[in-house]
Amino acid sequence: MGRILEVVMEIHFRDINLEPVWQKVRKGNRLSAEDGLRLLATNDIISLGKMAHFVQKQRSGDAVYFVLNQKIEPTNVCVLSCKFCDFAVKQGDAKSYEMTIEAILGKLTSDIQEVHITGGLHPDWEWEYYLDMLRRIREKYPHADIKAFTAVEIDFFHRKFKISIEDVLRQLKEAGLRTMPGGGAEVFSERVRKELFPQKIGAEQWLAIHRTSHRLGIPTNATMLYGHIETMEERVHHLLKLRELQDETHGFLSFIPLAFQPGETGIKPSDQYTSAIDDLRVIAASRLILDNIPHIKAYWVMLTEDVASIALNFGADDMDGTVGGERIAHDAGAISPSVLAKEQIVKIIRDAGKIPVERDIYYNPLRLYGEHVVGKIPYLNSVPFYANIEQRKFKILPVSPRRMGDLSSRGYLDAGLFSLVDYLQQQTKLEALDYCIATRDQVKSVMLFTNHDWQSLQGRTIGIVDDTATSVQLLRVLLKNKYGVHAHFQRMNSGVNEYRSFDAVLLIGDEALRCQKHGLAGFELIYDLASEWYEWKKLPFVFAIWAVQKAVQPDMKAELIEILQASLKKAEQNYTEAGALHAKSIGLTGQECDEYLEGFNFRIGARERAAIAEFEKLLIDLEVMERV
């Protein structure tokens, strides 16, 4: 297998107009509107796909995500009359339906991970009905995440019930809302809105609602409906507006290009359906333009299984899910199966050469369906191990430290760069290698943001980023043993969060690096936990350690060690070159990247072993872990 991630492939272009775009992609430079138009105009679809796949591999490795989800559309009765919609009807129509909460609960099962709720704008339902719907779902299925109500529905609630947008979202969040879908955006064009859906909100209100949602700690998705009367310029404009808001809020989880289904709408595009080439072109262009949105979906409901499968090598890294109960697209004539079984999704992903990853609503991996998987901490500090890695028999799964430990404990990973705490807790089945991520003094990427000195944190609430497994225990040790302080810890979710609702916030990895450089609004003081440890113990701190499952065959282990050695050796010759693309994506210069990586030890020596032993003793004394 070829090299991936920061290693750049060669592409032989048939369309020379793509060459300057590729140069930008290789250097990590942002694409312009003109670049976007070149992508959407090209017939060199293979080269376009290779560029998008390169970016996809940087972000997601070999992972393709899916979720076990149930679509609930409580009613098709709607006060609007959008030309492109074949789903909505007026009250009293023979095709109309209205679901009770009991009927909704009856459609859910215990294996569902996500409940996705959208529907018509009913003229008579009361506000309490919507809140009670979410409360009852959360009560009966507490493990299931609720993704509900488009920006159009939020605006409808605001106007109908005379509640501010912020209060609508706060009340829904308290009732059980975790994320919002991205529907209702259609395409950000006043021309198109006036012709096809004049009663519906436009771009300004859609973006304002998602901005408010992100500020309140509710991450969302984003969509674009294409293939009707929009122009290529309008498609690109739509993508750039989404990218602009993501720069501001970092609240979008994924982008979903939605191919228009003409149905009986009377809207007649040049072709009855978008072509497979156009679908792949839009997906690839979206991956390249939306450099700050983590995931791109191949929404098989509208694409068909065949096109969705190809899209997994054209920039898409998410298949959405089983989508049981979906009606809106199918009422408009979508020709995909109405329910795609989990086994079929797994097969489609495997056939594309990827790792099928069953996820939760925040893209945390729950189960893997692949072999020879190596975990990768997706932060700049791990780049030296992966920048030049040759995969050979292995597949790469980027995953946060905490989630990597969980996957390892359940036997899903052959090896990985494990959080130190997870390695210590799994020593009986993990064999340590001679590689680690250790800091000599400051680390710059494990930071506590607060307005209080250490003693003043007594009894206060500290928000803990969801990713951390070791840093949270280091903070616990420092508070109790160094400062004699007891604080309350509260895990945050994996999306956006309301940081100001906490007295202090612990951030790690790339987000901590960004905030360490630019500051975090609402917090004046920043403590580097590695510096606190070094000042106290005069030892380095080991945050992560390479380990392999003891059950892995000797030849596989030897191969892994060989490729790690080679990748690290090459990266150490030029940290700036190895980390350039990753550093640029989080706003660091080449010099800042070099200075940051120079601050680490990547090999375990005597002082690192002493630090591990000291930290393990402290964890045992705190009863965080038992003696192994």
Rounded-to-integer distance, Cα 421 and Cα 171, Å: 38
In terms of domains, do 414 and 528 share one? yes
pLDDT value at 332 more than 50: no
- In three-state form (DSSP H/G/I as H, E/B as E, the rest C), the secondary structure along 324-365 is ECCCHHHHCCCCCCCCCCHHHHHHHHHHCCCEEEEECCCCCE
Give the domain range for residue 357: 16-367
Whole-Å CA distances, 151 to 17, 118, 195, 556:
37, 10, 20, 50
Within this chain, do residues 577 and 435 fall inside the same structural domain, yes or no? yes
Backbone φ and ψ of 549, nearest 5°:
-60, 135
The mean pLDDT of 453-473, rounded to a whole number, is 96
> Distance (Å, rounded) from C-alpha 25 to C-alpha 51?
8
Q: Average pLDDT, stretch 506-516?
A: 96
Tell whether 45 and 164 lie within a shared domain. yes
Q: Is residue 386 part of a domain?
A: yes
Q: 171 or 393: which carries more pLDDT confidence?
A: 171
Total of domains in the chain? 2
- pLDDT at res. 84: 56
Of 367, 402, 435, the last residue of a domain is: 367
Question: Does the pLDDT of residue 266 top 90, yes or no?
Answer: no
Q: What is the structure's pLDDT at 274?
A: 80
Distance from C-alpha of 415 to C-alpha of 580, rounded to nearest angstrom = 26
In a shared domain, residues 359 and 401: no
Considering the domain architecture, whether residues 141 and 269 belong to the same structural domain is answered as: yes
For residue 215, what is the domain's CATH number? 3.20.20.70
Same domain, 321 and 466: no
Residue 559, class by beta-carbon neighbours within 10 Å (0-12 exposed, 13-18 middle, 19+ buried)?
Answer: middle
pLDDT digits (tens, 9 = 90+) for 88-146: 677 777 788 999 999 999 999 998 999 999 988 888 999 999 999 999 999 999 999 99
* Of 84 and 213, more confident: 213
**Tokens 């905030």 — which residue?**
515
Q: Which of 340, 367, 394 is the last residue of a domain?
A: 367
**Residue 8 lies inside a defined structural domain of this protein:** no
Mean pLDDT score of the chain: 91
- Residue 5, in any domain of the structure: no
Do 438 and 356 share a structural domain?
no
Q: Is 504 helix (H, G, I), strand (E, B) or coil?
A: strand
Does 4 reside within a domain?
Answer: no
Please say if the pLDDT value at position 396 is more than 90. yes
530 and 413 in one domain? Answer: yes
User: Are 353 and 382 contained in the same domain?
Assistant: no
Q: What is the pLDDT of residue 421?
A: 97
- Secondary structure (3-state) at 230: coil
Indicate if 350 and 387 belong to the same structural domain.
no
Q: Is residue 295 part of a domain?
A: yes
362 and 378 share one domain: no
Instruction: Decide if 11 is inside a domain.
Output: no
Q: Using 50, 70 and 90 to split pLDDT, how confident is the model at 263?
A: low
Within 10 angstroms of residue 206's Cβ, the number of other Cβ atoms is: 25
Q: Specify whether 355 is located in the same domain as 380.
A: no
In a domain, 290, yes or no: yes
Q: What is the CATH number of the domain that holds 562?
A: 3.40.190.10
Q: What is the tens place of the pLDDT at every residue in 417-460?
A: 999 999 999 999 999 999 999 998 899 999 999 999 999 999 99
Tell whether 531 is covered by a domain. Answer: yes
The last residue of one of the domains, among 367, 397, 415, is: 367
Task: Tell me how far apart the alpha carbons of residues 206 and 224 are, in angstroms, rounded to a whole number.
Answer: 12
Dihedral, CA atoms, 162, 164, 169, 171, nearest 10 degrees?
-60
